[in-house]
Every structure is written in C-alpha cells, then in structure tokens.
Amino acid sequence: MRAAEAARNTARLIEDTVVRVKDGSSLVARTSEKFTGVAASAAKVGELVGEIAAASTEQAQGITQVNAAVGEMDKVTQQNAAGAEESASASEQLNAQSEQLKSMVGDLMRVVEGHRPAEGPRESVARRRPVPKAPARGDHRAKAKAPSHPASAAKLIPLDDTDLGEF
C-alpha cells in the first residue's frame, strides 16, 4: 500500500507538473507575443523620432536660409539708403551748380550786350577770371581785335526763355 500510495502521489505530482509546464509554456508564448508587440512599438517610436529629427533639421536649414535672406535684404536696404543719400547730395550739388551757371550766363549776356555784370553777394565772373596779359613786344602771336560795334546777346547766344527755365 505504501507503494501504491507513493505511486499515486508521484502520478499526481507528474500531472501537476505537466499542467504547470503547459501553463508556463502558454505564459511564455503570451509574453513572447507581448514583447514582439513592444518591440514593434519601439521600432515605430524610433521611426517617428527619426522623422521628427529630420523635420527639425529641415526647419533649422529653412530658418538659416530665411536669416540669410533677411541679412541680404538688410544689406540691400542699407545700400539703397546710401544710394538715396548720395543721390540727394548730388541733386543738391547739381541744383547749386545750375543756379551758378544761370547767374554766369546772365552775366555773360550782360557783358556781350555791353553792360556791366550784376554785382551781388557773389563774385562776378569778371573778378573770378584773371584778365589775360598783353603780349610782350617781341611776341608775334595774333592779337584778337575787338569788334567795332557790340553785337547783341541774342545774336551771339540764341536762347529763349524755355532754355533757362529749367534752371
């Protein structure tokens, strides 16, 4: 009897062990499936992180390009401002020169007509220009002869009011 009882205990132990092994195998299979799912999810997360990194790199490059473009625009704006200042200065100089030229033409016309140039706050043309010296005695160059009668300014300088109106 003891042997029979021991055999029964052994059979029960074997049956319990077989059930536990089956349950363990089932648990290992389910765990393996879950780990496979976790590994797939981790791979998907890795791919998404890679895509995010690539997008961030592209954004950084885009921002760099925008910064470069803004820098170029700033440079061009500064060049345009400098050009505008130079143009304004040149315009002021041209305006002053045109006023001076207008005055000189008026003086010249009065001189040609036989009148004295107008005196004012500026020097007259005659005072600014040195008078040429008479040639020395032995100088054989031809002398300019003064006209016997003064010619009118209109004949010598054919201008009308529209020619000087722009000044």
Banded pLDDT at 114 (limits 50, 70, 90)? confident
In a domain, 98, yes or no: yes
Q: Looking at residue 118, what DSSP letter applies?
A: P
- Percentage of the chain lying above the pLDDT 90 cut: 58
In a domain, 56, yes or no: yes
Q: What is the mean pLDDT of the chain?
A: 81
**Token pair of 12, please?**
């029960």
Q: Report angle CA 22, 19, 34 to the nearest 5 degrees.
A: 30
Residue 14 has pLDDT above 50, yes or no: yes
In a domain, 103, yes or no: yes
For 49, the domain range is 1-113
Rounded-to-integer distance, Cα 38 and Cα 31, Å: 10
Banded pLDDT at 19 (limits 50, 70, 90)? very high
Task: Find the farthest-apart pair of alpha carbons in the chain and give their distance in angstroms, rounded.
Answer: 173
* Stronger pLDDT, 29 or 158, i.e. the higher one: 29
Segment 79-100, tens digit of pLDDT: 999 999 999 999 999 999 999 9
Beta-strand ranges (E) seen in 12-150 are: none
Count of structural domains within the chain: 1
What is the chain's Cα-based Rg?
54
